[in-house]
Amino acid sequence: MANPEHVRLLLTPEWGRWRAENPRLLPDLVDADLRGKDLHGVDLSHSVLLRADLRGANLAGAFLAHAQLDGAFFTGAVLDGADCSGVHFDLLDARNCSFKEAILTGATFRGADFTGSNLEGANLAQVSFDGAILDGVNLTGADMSGASLRGVHLEKAMLTNVKLKGAVLEGVMLEGLDLSGADLEGVQGTRVQFPDAKLVGARLFKAGLREANFLRANLKDADLEGADVSHSTFRQANLEGTHFFNCDAQAADFRDANLLNTEFNGAQLAASQLIGVDFRAIKLIGRVSFVRSNLTGATFARCNLRLFRFEQARLEGADMREVNLESANLDGAVLTGANLRGSRLRQASLVGAVCVDADMSGCDLILADVRNADFGRADLRFSSFVGANCAHTRFAFANCQKADFTKAAVGSANFWGSKIGGAKLPASALHWQLGRIVTAILSSTQRKKQEKEKREQQRRIRETVRLVRDLEEKDPRLRRQAQRTFRS
């Protein structure tokens, strides 16, 4: 039970003087009934308030630093501007309380229920909220730097401009919440859920959010500089104006996302899903890596992709017309059916690349390394392979007319069935030139033979028709039979 004298003094103006005269004495307020009492500005630091009933009490501006509140009741209490640093609110019922601008640094709220409470602008740095219920809580502008929110319930919470620098968000569900302008610098959490969340202008500098779910989230103008969002999904998310500077977005899913004016500066996009993305509206700066990325049907027309990495990337049907790919690495890339007409691939590496049915007419492949690449049925007209390494490259049935292979290493290349009329081939490829001539002669001979047979067949048909007409004129029976057949 509480010390009756302490309870009496607490409710009088003498309390402050008594505390000053007895600094070593801890107020005994165990089980005290303080419901609805006006305790604003009072000094309750280090007080023993075990199981005290503070429901509806006014503690605005009060000093409760390091007070013992185990089992206390706080429902509806007002603690605006109160100093509650170091206080343990673990497992307490603090629903519908007001902690506006309160100082709660170093406090713990493990398993506590703060449903509907107002913590707007509160200082919650280094606070532990593990397992707490914060449904409907107003945390607008609150400082939660370094806070731990493992397993916290935040349904319908307000988090606009909240400061979560260095906070731990393991197992947190932030679905549909408004975190516009929030500071999430250095936050840590695997598989954090942000579906339909609003993160407009949010700062996620060096955030560790592997496997996060940003499905349909609004990250307009958000800053993800240095963040780790690898294996995360951004499907159908609004990434307009979002900054991915030196960001690790490996294996991230960007399908159907709005990437208008999105900036990828030195970003790591290896193995990411970028199917059908139009990169003309995206800012690609520095050396961006698309290694093993799925870029099927993507549009890069007239983009500057110099020194970019596309090893083993899937670029089937991609629009890469007039693209600058100088010194880019496309080793093992799949460019089946892609359009690279007029692109600059000077000194680019396409070792083992698959360019079947690709349109590469007019491309600059000077000094390019295309060893073991497959250009089967590709359109290579007017392309320049001057000095290129074409060892073991396959040009089967490709259209190489007017292409320039001067000084290129094509000795072991395969031009079987290709069109090389007007192409400039080095001496090491003269056998393919001769083969083309022989093939042309054989084809011409075969064509003439077929034309002759066709003319002979037409001649026989004409002669047969004339013979039948003569017989019908001489034999009335045959003429009547032909007439009956005609009528029927």
Q: Model pTM?
A: 0.83
DSSP character at residue 453: H
Q: Let me know if residue 454 belongs to a domain.
A: yes
Q: Let me know if residue 465 belongs to a domain.
A: yes
CA dihedral 309, 310, 312, 316 (to 10 degrees): 180
Q: Residue 431: its pLDDT value, please?
A: 52
Q: At 90, is the secondary structure helix, strand, or coil?
A: coil
Q: At 469, is the secondary structure helix, strand, or coil?
A: helix
Q: Within 10 A of 276 (CB to CB), how many other CB atoms are there?
A: 14
Whether the pLDDT of residue 105 is over 70: the answer is yes
Q: At 58, is the secondary structure helix, strand, or coil?
A: strand
Q: Residue 275: its pLDDT value, please?
A: 96
Average pLDDT on 476-480 reads 65
Strands 243-245 and 283-285: unpaired
Comparison of pLDDT for 98 and 443, the residue scoring more: 98
**Binning pLDDT at 50, 70 and 90, where does residue 115 land?**
very high
Strands 263-265 and 243-245: parallel
DSSP character at residue 427: G
Q: Which residue has the tokens 């958000």?
A: 222
Q: Let me know if residue 455 belongs to a domain.
A: yes
Q: Residue 453: its pLDDT value, please?
A: 84
Q: Let me know if residue 125 belongs to a domain.
A: no
**Binning pLDDT at 50, 70 and 90, where does residue 374 land?**
very high
Give the integer Cα–Cα distance in Å for 135 and 119: 12
Q: Average pLDDT over the chain, rounded to whole?
A: 92
> Which of 12-21, 274-283, 403-412, 463-472 has the least mean pLDDT?
463-472
Q: Let me know if residue 30 belongs to a domain.
A: no
Whether the pLDDT of residue 434 is over 60: the answer is no
The predicted-structure confidence for 3-37, as pLDDT tens digits, reads as follows: 889 889 889 999 989 999 898 899 999 999 999 99
Residue 115: Cβ-neighbour burial (10 angstroms; 0-12, 13-18, 19+): buried
Average pLDDT on 430-449 reads 65
Alpha carbon of 10 to those of 33, 73, 461: distances in Å? Answer: 12, 18, 125
Average pLDDT on 219-230 reads 97
By the 8 A CB rule, do 100 and 120 touch? yes
The predicted-structure confidence for 146-190, as pLDDT tens digits, reads as follows: 999 999 999 999 999 999 999 999 989 999 999 999 999 999 999
Q: Let me know if residue 463 belongs to a domain.
A: yes
Rounded to 10°, the helix 476-487/430-474 angle is 110
By the 8 A CB rule, do 301 and 325 touch? no
Whether the pLDDT of residue 216 is over 60: the answer is yes
| Residue of 408, 354, 361, 415 lying closest to 386 (CA atoms) | 408
By the 8 A CB rule, do 406 and 383 touch? no
Q: Residue 445: its pLDDT value, please?
A: 79
Q: Residue 440: its pLDDT value, please?
A: 63
Distance from chain centroid for Cα 279: 13
**Binning pLDDT at 50, 70 and 90, where does residue 417 land?**
confident
Q: Let me know if residue 73 belongs to a domain.
A: no
Q: Which residue range is the domain that position 477 belongs to?
A: 435-487
Whether the pLDDT of residue 480 is over 90: the answer is no
Q: How many domains does the chain have?
A: 1
> Which of 108-112, 271-275, 469-473 has the least mean pLDDT?
469-473
Average pLDDT on 188-211 reads 96
**Binning pLDDT at 50, 70 and 90, where does residue 462 land?**
confident
Q: Let me know if residue 305 belongs to a domain.
A: no
Whether the pLDDT of residue 343 is over 90: the answer is yes
